[in-house]
Amino acid sequence: MGPLIEVVLGGLMAGVLYSLVALGFVLIYKASGVFNFAQGAMVLFAALAFARFSEKMPMPVAFVLAMGVMVLMAWLVERLVLRSLVNQEGIILFLATFGITYFIEGLGQLIFGSDIYPIDLGLPKEPKIILEDTFQGGILINIDDLLAAAVAGALVLSLALFFQKTGTGRALRAVADDHQAAQSVGIPLNRIWVIVWSVSGFVALVAGIVWGSKLGVQFSLALVALKAIPVVILGGFTSVPGAIVGGLIIGVGEKLAEVYLGPIIGGGLENWFAYGLALVFLMVRPEGLFGERHIDRV
């Protein structure tokens, strides 16, 4: 029983980390109908900015500065890209975010360098053993994983409150529902987009710091996005809770597959297993677990 619980717990922790990135996708899709492929590049960029700033100054200052950079980026993206592509089809906007991805990846490494930069949050790295009396050998957990889970939880809670309780949140939901209708009742579309890209920049920064403190800040951080994509399609593009539940399912599924299926059909499963799992779920519910059901009319 002990090892199984350990695997499941490990999976849940990994899942929370995926959810952190997936949240960024969901936010932008919800508010502007754009599937933002650049989320991974934003994670990289934010983490690079934070890592390099924190070499020179205390962490809170670095955090605020990095956030400033992300807001600036959000503004530029709205100004230079989205504004010119209003009313284009989803696929065109999707591909434009590929352009943004390449641009940000190049820019980030050009400004901040392309080595591996550590982020040290001063947390204990050694895993702790708990429940030693219940199971033989106990269960290993990492403190920083627990912290990441707490951060993700807090983030989701505050985002949910922001979306449901504030005026801006209501405006965001209106824009997500219908651009033109929102505009006609006087919601400033452009400002909403800047806000939502800034919020997802904030999510990217948090995700970047959490991932960066685990892996070190390096180019491969941008590839985390590819891990988060199955989470988003599994949970549904439009659902914040979906991103969390999806992340947990994918995290646990991946770890279980690696431990129990890996030895049978060969290792290295984790790259495609998540996609396979998401596909199976999609066959049953094509809009993802919590996505909005979509009705076709002729």
Partner 1 sequence: MFYRENGQFKTSYAEDQALLSIRQDRWFIWLVLVVAFVVVPLFASEYLFKAILIPFLILALAAIGLNLLVGYCGQISLGTGAFMMVGAYSAYNLAVRVPDLNILLVFVLAGLITTVAGMLFGIPSLRIKGLYLAVATLAAQFFMDWLFSRVKWFTNDSPSGSVTAPAITFFGATWDSPTEKYLLVLAIAVLFALIAKNLVRSNIGRSWMATRDMDVAAEIIGIRPVYAKLSAFAVSSFFVGIAGALWAFVHLGSWEPLAFDINRSFSMIFMVIIGGLGSILGSFLGAAFIVVLPLLLNQVPHWLGIPISTATASHLEFMIFGALIIFFLIVEPHGLARLWAIAKEKLRIWPFPH
Q: Which residues bind partner 1 (CB under 8 A)?
A: 35, 80-81, 84-85, 88-92, 94-96, 98-107, 109-110, 114, 226, 229-230, 232-233, 237, 266-269, 271-272, 275-276, 278-279, 282-283, 286-288, 296-298
Cβ closest to partner 1, residue 63 vs residue 193: 193
Helices 240-256 & 143-165 angle (0-180, nearest 10):
160
CB of 112 to partner 1, least distance (A): 10
CB of 27 to partner 1, least distance (A): 15
Encoded amino acid at 253, one letter: G
Cβ closest to partner 1, residue 92 vs residue 154: 92
Query: Which tokens belong to 133?
Result: 């009396």
Cβ closest to partner 1, residue 92 vs residue 130: 92
CB of 26 to partner 1, least distance (A): 13
Cβ closest to partner 1, residue 1 vs residue 283: 283
User: CA geometry: angle at 13 spanning 9 and 17, to 5°?
Assistant: 165
Distance CA 155, CA 240 (A): 10
CB of 40 to partner 1, least distance (A): 12
Helix (H, G, I), strand (E, B) or coil at 32: helix
For residue 134, the number of C-alpha atoms closer than 13 Å in the C-beta half-sphere is 8
User: CA geometry: angle at 54 spanning 143 and 58, to 5°?
Assistant: 90
Cβ closest to partner 1, residue 84 vs residue 136: 84
